[in-house]
Structure 1
Amino acid sequence: MAIPPKPWPTGMVEQPEPLVRRVLAPNPSPYTYTGTQTYLVGNAGQLAVIDPGPDDADHLAALEAAIGGAQVTAIMCTHTHRDHSPAAVPLAQRTGAPVVGCAPLVLPDDGPRADAPFDRTYAPDRVLEDGESMTGRGWTLTAVATPGHTSNHLCFALEESGALFTGDHVMGWSTSVVVPPDGNMTDYMASLAKLYDREDRIYYAAHGAPIENPRQLVRGMIGHRRQRENQIRRLLGEQAQAIEDLVPQMYKGLDERLIGAAGMSVKAHLIDLEQRGMVSRSGEIWTVN
């Protein structure tokens, strides 16, 4: 999906429902759409901040203005890509709130996403396990483990309204990038199936518009990934090929800036298929079994 024309609501406070407000960070890119959306969950008394975003002075000032006189009881991160968690440190210093959520994760190389490697500053005060909750006055956020995009990825369910904050696991504007070795297609598909079995009313992703038909979208995403699997097997059935040969056949007219990411997703699919005994490789060349 193309990035919409400006103006975008960067730095503005929007309120999609009574317990939820969002502030858009000034970090648009082909990977982040119009930027990272930071969510403020709660009320004038107590708030949780989900995905504080990049360590950017303007974004932090916008968050402080949105928080106002409320007490921040938790700064919660879905995962540790650098467009999601670096503002946790300065925001914790300014508010005194603990950093809570996903486990720390740093890898030396995050593939083609030069704009969003892992955040080396992230040091949570508490790691939430699947099903554990944070509570405030009038709200409860429960962790839903969704590895795949990254191995430490969490979603957060707002129990009072049926909303799910999906980070980068499910987005309405694009499919999630799965970059091996940490990104894992087998885990990603299992996490999609896990969300499909839930009955969340609406998804709020870190990038893009709210998703008002969540189960329908997730079903479509699972189908899309299965189509990619079948496409890979068909192409390899025609002849053994390398990933760099598969990408232009699978992604017609792709923005050149996204070719590396597409190659990583193809690799993630191939590794998953290899583990299931459907393909094999010799060096850089893959064949169908």
Structure 2
Amino acid sequence: MKLNIFQRYYTMSDNEQRSYLMNLIHLVPIQRRRNGNYTNAENSRRQTSVTFTLSDGVGCFKRVCKQTFLETFNVSPSKITTPIKRLKSGLYMFTDKRGGCKTFKYTHHDRCVVREHVNCFPSDVSHYCRPKHNNDIEYLSSDLNINRMYAAFKKEHPNTLISKRFYYRVFRKDYPNVKFRRPRVDSCKTCDLLHMKQSSSSNKAEACKAKMDLDAHHRVIEKARKEVANDCLQSTLPGGEACVLTIDLQKVFPLPKLTHSKMYYNR
């Protein structure tokens, strides 16, 4: 008999299987309550008992235990959890609510509004890299973060229904190459001077010359870093004649914030 029930069960569709299980599961009043952490029965977490039945093949149903019920249909306990919840809510037919037509809370216009707001923040390339290195990465000001950007967005659009989560999702998905710059505290005076000339000069010749000088300055810095790294490597080898000393300057947090290295460390 169990084999017939099993074979019949697996000829059904998923919705028919769940509905069939719901017809074999019954909710009955609790016959006896044991001691619990409640004084009134209404405060109990369990308000009904669940019974399981199987057809005997002649139109009658016999009550069985939960383990027999699961073994007959070869299903896990999680398979009957949803049908039991549907029965407790007053439903007697199972309908799969997964998939279907999904509706989205935000429209394409909302995404464009967020993108327009993000584009209004100025960005620049890395301070340490020449244009041919990582030229696809742009950096926003170190004073910015998602919370401050969204606060400015809410101030500009006070009646908007766009949440911070949607704003953050658009920023991460549509701007994968835009990052927040770390607070800069070690830029030298030559870098700052040439960078200002390059970005603020109205004369193209002067801006081009400043750019060439800045690239040459960066090449000198990279050469010095490579020599320091080589000296560090030589100092670890047996018989090496190089000796490397490391001095850690204690950090301070000056107010107002200083980004120039000479001013920062003199402070």
TM-score (norm 1): 0.22
| Structure number having the greater helix percentage | 2
TM-score (norm 2): 0.23
| Structure number having the greater strand percentage | 1
Q: Which has the larger radius of gyration?
A: 2
